[in-house]
Amino acid sequence: MTTAARWTSRWPGYAAAAWGVLFAVPSFYWALGGTGGASTTVSPALVKLAEDGVTWFLVVLWVTGVLKLVGTALGIALLGSRGRRPDQLLQLAGWGAGVLLVWHGGLFAVEGLLVQTGVLHIAPELVPVSRWYTFLWGPWFVLGGVCFGLAARRHLRLVAQRRACAIAGAVGGFGALGLSVAMLLGGIG
């Protein structure tokens, strides 16, 4: 296989890995006390927590930054087959991440579009932030989810235990969706 052909078939894993790194940067920046650009692109309540250096929130920022780097490792791991059990875990995590990110980004975009068209109403000072969630954060999450989903799909083609891995992927995808819907209904999401 030529280098170009190898890259063409592997790009979703590389894209998912790059997405994880790029997405981790703001978390670490905010955890270190930087808030430049945040006041217009992120919820004002979250910016205030970062500016005030609220310990629990800074811990959340560090943890989410590390989890995003774990997503980077997942994207790289999805580039090849690792063996029966690890392949199942990769499918579970890959499809879980993909579905969760597409769902989360889709919620941002749909809710934002409803605000932008006047169907939903929010406080006037939040409308500019809503635009960022609609046109930046929502699509950014969806893009990451699509990259993870494509990487998991490509990985599934490489594995020997395709049926077991497909089941693990379905559990990961439906599990992520179910957890997110439950949290949303519980007022946490």
Give me the pLDDT at residue 7, please: 65
Which pTM does this prediction carry? 0.89
Segments making up each domain of the chain, as ranges:
3-185
Give me the pLDDT at residue 5, please: 63
Number of H helices, E strands in the chain: 8, 0
Number of CB atoms found within 10 A of residue 163's CB: 8
Q: What is the pLDDT along the chain (189 residues), one digit of tens a residue?
A: 676 666 678 999 999 999 999 999 999 999 998 888 887 788 888 888 988 999 999 999 999 999 999 999 999 999 987 776 799 999 999 999 999 999 999 999 999 999 999 999 999 888 888 999 999 999 999 999 999 999 999 999 999 899 999 999 999 999 999 999 999 899 876
Give me the pLDDT at residue 159, please: 92
> Which residue from 37, 31, 94 is spatially nearest to 63, judged by alpha carbons?
31
